[in-house]
Amino acid sequence: MTSTAGVARQSEACSACGGSLDALGHCAKCGAVFGEAYRCPLCGALADVERDSRLYYRCRVCGGPRIPPSPIPISEAEVQRLKAARSEQFKAVAFRVGAGFALASSALSLLVTSLVLVATTPALFAQLAALIACLVPCALALFAFRQARSHSRSFHAALQQAWFLAAARLSASRSGRLTAAELAELLRVDEARAELLLAEVSVQDFVYAESGPERLRVPELAGPSEVSVEAERIDATAGPLKQ
């Protein structure tokens, strides 16, 4: 079943330049957007998306991860995954910054302590205690780097889940089989990635049909590591699974 919520009428004109709007509310003349399909689920602004090497597509207002707008409204499951990806991205950046600061503090402390020890030559116990104290920030930096890595993996997993759910939503909206070329056009990706998304949707449809609506293991479609995440069934509009 295809929903038309948030789709602009073809007859509407752009209030900025008077140009015609497409079915989603995008002005081909000035690039302005008006349709609800362009509302960012993260910041709530009406904004177009732009390509990003890390996020695939991001909001032009808040910079958060986005799924390109389509005639089928984005599902709540996708929104939750995008929010999770944004949160994990912030956490990863914060831990990287903290790790860098701790590492710099450790290096500076070690330099100052070394100069003091050379100038004063205190007892061996005092020297060892001072050096150990200098290494504490280094240990904190190592911990922060590990946390940043963990959040980075979670970010990639959540982002891939959001794209999988988007492919499932668009696939479920068609009465016939959605081709890779059609999905690539809807999601603004290349056909190779569209084929991977459709293959994952087909696999999950098959597994669901064979095993029923129990919790399934959904592997990442891309990313730096083989991270698995759990997925649940979602309604027919959003797709066959709810993550």
Checking if the pLDDT of 238 tops 90, the result is: no
Specify burial of residue 40 (Cβ count, 10 A radius: 0-12, 13-18, 19+). Answer: buried
Higher model confidence: residue 156 or residue 14? 156
The tokens for 199 are 């293959």
- pLDDT recorded at residue 206: 63
Nearest CA to 186 among 168, 159, 161? Answer: 168
Residues 6+ apart with CB under 8 A from 4: 71
DSSP 36: G
Amino acid at 48: D
Amino acid at 18: G
Nearest CA to 40 among 50, 54, 28? Answer: 50
Q: What is the mean pLDDT of residues 130-141?
A: 88
Checking if the pLDDT of 225 tops 50, the result is: no
At 175, is the pLDDT very low, low, confident or very high (cuts 50, 70, 90)? confident
- What's the predicted TM-score (pTM) here? 0.74
Nearest CA to 196 among 225, 163, 243? Answer: 163
At 209, is the pLDDT very low, low, confident or very high (cuts 50, 70, 90)? low
Percent of the chain with pLDDT over 90: 49
User: Virtual CA dihedral for 208, 209, 212, 218, nearest 10 degrees?
Assistant: -10
Checking if the pLDDT of 98 tops 90, the result is: yes
CA distance 10 to 195: 31
Checking if the pLDDT of 81 tops 60, the result is: yes
- pLDDT recorded at residue 207: 64
Q: What is the mean pLDDT of residues 38-58?
A: 93
Instruction: Please state the domain extents for the chain.
Output: 76-231
CA distance 8 to 17: 17
Q: What is the mean pLDDT of residues 143-168?
A: 96
Neighbours of 170 (CB within 10 A): 23
Residues 6+ apart with CB under 8 A from 44: none
At what angle are helices 180-187 and 191-211 packed, to 10 degrees? Answer: 110
Q: What is the pLDDT of residues 181-194, one digit of tens each?
A: 999 999 999 999 99
Whole-number mean pLDDT of the chain?
Answer: 81
Q: What is the mean pLDDT of residues 51-72?
A: 94
